Amino acid sequence: MTGSKKNTRHTASNHTSWVQKFESGLNGQSLRALRQRAIADFDRLGYPTTADEAWKSVNPSALIRTDFEPAAPASLADAELEPFTYPDLQGIHLVFVNGHYAPEHTSDIPEGINIANLADVYDQPLVKAHLGKLAQTTDLAFTALNTAFMRDGVFIHVQPNVAVETPVHILFITTASEIPTISHPRNLIIADENSQLSLVETYAGTGTETYFTNAVTEIIARDNASVDCIRLELQGTAGLHVANFQAQLGRNSRMTFHDFTLGGAFVRNDVNAYMRGEGSEATVNGFYALEGSQHVDNYTLLEHAEPHCPSHELYKGILGGSSRAIFRGKIHVHQKAQHTDAYQQNENILLSDNARVNTKPQLEIYADEVKCSHGATIGQLDENALFYLQARGIPKAEAKRILLRAFADDIIGRVTLAPVRSHLSDLIDTRLEHIDAKDTA
């Protein structure tokens, strides 16, 4: 971006009147104070520029210079949703089209779990007590925008001692529009003591037009709770996606998060797991397969605030064309967090001379008795491994796909939901064949 911070602040101040118009169409004003604080933070922060530490290697102009309009509601038939669903996945399904709740696609909700459109439950004490507490607006401009303009999204509350036997699948889909549109999905998930939940988020788009999805998810896992999260990003070729995922873990709780980025022109993911209770455990994994001029950022922060909290992090990427990936991960071990066991790794394969990766794994440790490690690799396919396979009669193109698939399987195999794992496997196979074909043409 070439504009000054002053200009970005001037642009940001225009959102104040937008918020007033937006609120006038809502029922009730329970979030007025939260929205006003958010827009004040955004007005102070302005749009991010390369002067900001978290954006210094990124050109965010596509997110800033486009005049986006709020996405309008639309109706989709079940057949139009099928490409973005998981065959054989028996569970609870919710659909949002252009950021608006589509109740006609919602399945039955079992006992012991409260699932609702977030916009319908703003007045509930549990929502008021937790909404916006993890996803702070003081430092993240797009989170501030989401908080100011949030409307529809998912609220999930799993009651104590309830194990939800079927996964919850949330599909956010954006339809094609000649006018660039923006939506702000907001999700709040609370898993009470001794509860279990599996959550699948899919963000997708149709057509080749430009749109912007600005999503925020907050997850609270109370003592001894278990939450498994899978996020699949299948945005359209011109889709822009910014997501903030914030999780807080109670004593002896467990959270796993698997992120797969296969689409979108620009994708930015901020993932933060705060291990607030002793003995809590966080696993954060990611996989991205990029082509053309695609760009994906993954910024992660694992906060070890209490003793005996292990964390495991592995991100892997395959890049072709002139695509670019940025990985910045930090493991922060507080002084109190003795006996921390933390692992962080980022691995990348470049299929093109024009593809680029910037990677910066980090450790920030203030405790003495810890076991922490981190690392990163960037390279091409192993020529010796290729020769080995070719020497056994396997054509070179097939040998490359075998090695690429083995690289990806390290992440795919960690997904415990079999129908989701199978569908991801098929999607990634198709994706890798397409990327490899382009780079060998």
What digits encode the pLDDT tens for the residues 47-58?
888 888 888 888
Antiparallel, parallel or unpaired: β 113-117 and 154-158: antiparallel
Please tell me the predicted confidence (pLDDT) of residue 51: 83
Q: Is the pTM of this model over 0.85?
A: yes
Within-domain flag for 26: no
Within-domain flag for 187: yes
Please tell me the predicted confidence (pLDDT) of residue 22: 59
Within-domain flag for 32: no
Element (H, E) at 156: strand 154-158
Could you give the number of structural domains in the chain? Answer: 1
Please tell me the predicted confidence (pLDDT) of residue 13: 46
Within-domain flag for 15: no
Q: Report the interhelical angle of 141-149 vs 32-45 (nearest 10°).
A: 150
Domain that holds residue 241: 72-381
Collapse the DSSP code of 147 into the 3-class scheme (helix H, G, I; strand E, B; otherwise coil) and give the result: helix
Please tell me the predicted confidence (pLDDT) of residue 12: 45
Within-domain flag for 377: yes
**Residue 178, CB-side half-sphere exposure with 13 Å CA sphere:** 0
Q: Which residue has the tokens 């659909």?
A: 95
Name every residue whose Cβ is closer than 8 Å to that of residue 334 and which is 6 or more positions away in sequence: 303, 304, 305, 306, 366, 367
Within-domain flag for 11: no
**Cβ pair 152, 43 in contact under 8 A:** no
Please tell me the predicted confidence (pLDDT) of residue 360: 95
Within-domain flag for 208: yes
Within-domain flag for 298: yes
**Cβ pair 137, 38 in contact under 8 A:** yes
pLDDT along the chain (441 residues), means of 10: 39 52 55 86 88 83 85 91 91 95 91 93 94 94 93 96 95 92 96 98 92 97 98 95 98 98 96 98 98 96 97 97 96 97 97 95 96 96 92 92 95 96 94 78 56
